[in-house]
Amino acid sequence: MALNCTFASLKALINDWSLYHELAHLYHPLFDYENFWLSEGLATYLQNIIMLDGGIISHDEFIARLKAGLARGEQQTRTIDDPLSYVADNMWALKAQQRVYWSGVAFFIEAELTLKTQTMPYKSITQLIDTYQTCCKKPNQSARQFLLELDKLSRSAIFSNLYNQYSKRTDFPAINKQQLIQLRF
């Protein structure tokens, strides 16, 4: 739950995840509802990366937060097993926020792990998004255009290939603790 900022201390504001989540939305264009899993997944993933890299949470807390969130997404997928793009388009009516957000996080975890195996030019989502901000971001890009730009920058088809898999997924991706540990090492 997000913090009520009216009477919050500076320390409470710094430690509140929602600040980093909402700011992370500025790193991508606004996507249509069926692709909310991408925008919410990226913002949720980046909020945790930013908090870890900023020393706000420890590596153990980073792993614990991702592990717990992925478990919530997996749990909700057991009762809402329609294709992810349909679930995202109807997220509020289905009360499927956990599945939508955490499927998107899993997408970016898989992309980051794949980037780490590449020889050039980017080894992380944050490096890639940083470059995207200066060269390629346009306000009216679709989700597919955004991912094509990430593919072009990474000289790969990582993002398009994952998108084609994820948008149709009716199951929840299997991400293990060892994969989470590999994200920041």
75 assigned to some structural domain = yes
CATH code for the domain of 152: 1.10.390
Does residue 105 belong to any structural domain of this protein?
yes
Q: Is residue 2 part of a domain?
A: no
Within a domain: residue 156? Answer: yes
Residues across the chain: 185
Q: Which domain holds residue 130?
A: 15-182
How many domains does one find in the chain? Answer: 1
Distance between CA 52 and CA 62 in Å, rounded?
A: 6
Q: Is residue 71 part of a domain?
A: yes
Residue 8 falls within a domain, yes or no? no
In a domain, 155, yes or no: yes
Q: What is the pTM of this model?
A: 0.91
Q: Kindly list the averaged pLDDT for each block of 10 residues, start to end, along the chain of length 185.
A: 60 73 90 96 96 94 97 96 96 97 98 88 90 90 95 95 97 96 84
